Structure 1
Amino acid sequence: MDRTEIADLIVERIKAEKSRVAQQYAASVGTIGHFVIDDLLPAELAERIYRQFPKPDAMRLKKTLREYKYIAAQMDEHDLLLEEAIYAFQDARVVELIKGICGMNSVYPDVHLYAGGISMMGNQQFLNPHLDNSHDKDRDRWRVLNLLYYVTPDWAEANGGNLELWPQGVGGKPLTIQSRFNRLAVMATHGGSWHSVSPIHANGFRCCVSNYYFSDDPLKEGDSFHVTSFRGRPEQKLRDIVLRADAALRMGIRSLFAKGIKDTTHIYKRKQ
């Protein structure tokens, strides 16, 4: 299936759930707006997408105090179905539906897949609490929505690898959104949208198709530019100190060099 055919299915499913998810987003928008749609695609197609995920050694490993996971954005190196699935979420009809659900004035998908694409997390892997970078790769538009589509069959909540939202900040209690098979999770990104992925304690890999949407304006009045900023989990006191210092250092660099001192490697560099 190509991206338009996949988008046809996504549009149909979103329309069927539009009223419910609009209420879910409206009820949470005061902290971290979010909604979920289960059974997004026919199960056979979702399983096909999962089966086309590359082996770990064909992806980039990120292993630091901040995160431990596999990622890929150079989609022409992998099965075509993965690229078609990613860009189905960038179909104008899908973007317009989600824009309306979230009550936004302007929303743009990201053809460059800046920090998007696919990700895979296995045993002992994690993503610590963090705020996403506030802007796109050129620092022209504000990052406003994170779309996460989970495709690992029979993935149990007890396995870990679940999305965690921290509405009261990292010192509060997280809200867990299970990364269950064939589920789309959409969350707002702004200066208070702390989120994480719980450590995995199971064999196998939790696989995810990721997109970000951007806007002309920030979601929250008073938001300002910030780099991706990590924190320690509540029990990680020393790690929290280190990660705060790391974020402060990188913010200091960006105050001197607006677009950083090196080009990002987490984008889709299309061949001409």
Structure 2
Amino acid sequence: MDRTEIATLVYNTLLENKARLIQQYSDSKGAIGYFFVDDVLPEALALQIYTAFPATHDMVLKKSLREDKYVAAQMNKYNPLLEDVIYAFQDRRVVQLVSEICNLKDIYPDEYLYAGGISVMAHRQFLNPHLDNSHDKDRQRWRVLNLLYYVTPGWEESYGGNLELWPDGLKGKQVRVHSKFNRLAVMATHNASLHSVSPVVFNGVRCCISNYYFSDHALHEADTFHVTSFRGRPENKLTDIALQLDTMLRTGIRKIFKKGIVENPHVYKKGEK
């Protein structure tokens, strides 16, 4: 099955659930707009995608106070099915339908997979509360939607590794989206879309396929440029202070060096192997 056929399956699932997804996104967009849909692809195909994931030692480990996870974007190093699935979510039909669900215009997928691609989180790994980088790799377009497709079979909510939205900030109640097998979660990204991934407390791996959509326009008029901005979880006060200082430092550097001091390696360089 090629990426066009996979895209058709994704499109049909979204179309079948369109009315419900429009309502879910509309009800939540006053804070952090989001929706999720289950059984995105046939179960056998979703299992095949999970099996195609590389071993963690063949991925890049990102480990710091900010996060602890394995990632990969150089997709021609891996099973071609993974690349086909990633780009199925970039099919023009899928992009247009997601745009309609979220009532957005002029939305573009990212062929370079800047901060996208695949990720794996194992026991004790996590992603602290943060705002995604506001722009694409060239700072030409605004990042507006985050698409997360989960493919670990039998992954229970109690295992951790779930998407957490903080619509009222770290002092408010979080919204938890279970990283359930064969589920697609889509969330808005803007100056207030604070989100995280809960620590994994199970001896297994949570596998995810990620895409970002961009636009010529910010979601909110008040949105401003920002680097990926991390915070500590509410119970980790010292980590929170350290991460706020870290964000201030990196923001200062980006004011001087528009694209950073060094090139972000998390992109798909299609001419390389």
Shorter-chain TM-score tier: over 0.9
Aligned counterpart, 2:204: 204
Deviations 1:240-259 (A, max 9, x none): 00000000000000111111
C-alpha distance in 2, partners of 1:118/1:83? Answer: 9
C-alpha distance in 2, partners of 1:28/1:248? Answer: 29
Deviations 1:128-161 (A, max 9, x none): 0000000000000000000000000000000000
Give the counterpart letter for 2:21 in structure 1.
Answer: V
Query: SS where residue 12 of structure 1 aligns?
Result: helix
Aligned counterpart, 1:135: 135
Query: SS where residue 247 of structure 1 aligns?
Result: helix
Aligned counterpart, 2:28: 28
C-alpha distance in 2, partners of 1:257/1:100? Answer: 36
Figure out how many residues of one structure are paired with residues of the other and give that number: 272
Deviation at 1:209, TM superposition (A): 0.3
Aligned counterpart, 1:91: 91
Give the counterpart letter for 2:116 in structure 1.
Answer: G
Deviations 1:176-209 (A, max 9, x none): 0000000000000000000000000001100000
Give the counterpart letter for 1:86 in structure 2.
Answer: I
Deviations 1:198-253 (A, max 9, x none): 00000110000000000000001111000000000000000000000000000000
Give the counterpart letter for 2:152 in structure 1.
Answer: T
The correspondence of residues 123-272 of structure 1 with structure 2, limited to 5 A, is 123-271=123-271
Deviation at 1:4, TM superposition (A): 0.2
Aligned counterpart, 1:38: 38
Deviations 1:70-115 (A, max 9, x none): 0000000000000000000000000000001111121000000000
Query: SS where residue 265 of structure 2 aligns?
Result: coil
Aligned counterpart, 2:121: 121
The correspondence of residues 74-89 of structure 1 with structure 2, limited to 5 A, is 74-89=74-89
C-alpha distance in 1, partners of 2:75/2:12? Answer: 26
Stretches of structure 1 that go unaligned for 5 or more consecutive residues are none
RMSD: 0.6
Query: SS where residue 186 of structure 1 aligns?
Result: strand
C-alpha distance in 1, partners of 2:29/2:222? Answer: 16
Aligned counterpart, 1:103: 103
Deviates more, 1:99-108 or 1:139-148: 99-108
Give the counterpart letter for 2:205 in structure 1.
Answer: F
Deviation at 1:170, TM superposition (A): 1.6
Give the counterpart letter for 2:120 in structure 1.
Answer: M
Aligned counterpart, 1:2: 2
Q: What is the percent sequence identity of the aligned residues? A: 62
Give the counterpart letter for 1:171 in structure 2.
Answer: K
TM-score (norm 2): 0.99
Query: SS where residue 268 of structure 2 aligns?
Result: coil
2:50 counterpart of 1:50 = yes
TM-score (norm 1): 0.99
Deviations 1:17-75 (A, max 9, x none): 00000000000000000000100000000000000000010000001000000000000
C-alpha distance in 2, partners of 1:198/1:6? Answer: 29
